[in-house]
Structure 1
Amino acid sequence: MPLINVKLIEGVFSPQQKQEIIRKLTDTMVEIEGEAMRAVTWTVVEEVKSGDWGIAGKPLTTSDVKALAAVRPAKAA
């Protein structure tokens, strides 16, 4: 059974967005291995405290991520 572990910085994604992440990742596993995979695919979304995530030796905060998202708009679904 696959376990998909997703780590996000807290406060960036809404509960609805996290549900969509879980659904779409599960759907992707089903596309690869078939419908029988749906019932055994586990997805865990873990939120990391703002500032406890680092890139290039620098802490990244919720505000930093939101600022990056404002510069590069998300693709329309």
Structure 2
Amino acid sequence: MPLVNVRVIEGVFTPEQKQEMVRAITDTMVAIEGESLRPVTWVLVEEVRSGDWGIGGKGLTTEDVHALQRQSAPVAG
């Protein structure tokens, strides 16, 4: 049975977005391994406390991720 563990920084994603991750990741695994594995495909979304995730020697916070999201957001025009 497949188990996919996704770690995200707390406070970045809404419950609805996390549920969408579970659905989309499950669908992807099923596309690879076959529909018969859907009932036994586990997806675990874990939240890591803000600042406890480090990249390049610096703790990454919830606000850092929100700033990155704002940078990559499409510009209406």
Global fold match (TM > 0.5)? yes
Determine the C-alpha separation between the residues in 2 that align with 1:40 and 1:60. 33
Q: What TM-score, normalized to structure 1?
A: 0.93
**Which residue of structure 2 lines up, in the alignment, with residue 60 of structure 1?**
60
Gaps of 5+ in 1: none
**Which residue of structure 2 lines up, in the alignment, with residue 10 of structure 1?**
10
**Which residue of structure 2 lines up, in the alignment, with residue 30 of structure 1?**
30
> Residue 12 of structure 1: CA displacement?
0.1
> Residue 24 of structure 1: CA displacement?
0.2
Determine the C-alpha separation between the residues in 2 that align with 1:58 and 1:33. 38
Q: What TM-score, normalized to structure 2?
A: 0.93
Describe the SS at the equivalent of 1:50. Answer: coil
> Residue 37 of structure 1: CA displacement?
1.1
**Which residue of structure 2 lines up, in the alignment, with residue 46 of structure 1?**
46
Describe the SS at the equivalent of 1:46. Answer: strand
> Residue 61 of structure 1: CA displacement?
0.2
> Residue 31 of structure 1: CA displacement?
0.5
> Residue 57 of structure 1: CA displacement?
0.4
Determine the C-alpha separation between the residues in 1 that align with 2:17 and 2:37. 22
Among all aligned residue pairs of Structure 1 and Structure 2, give the percentage whose two residues are the same amino acid. 65
Gaps of 5+ in 2: none
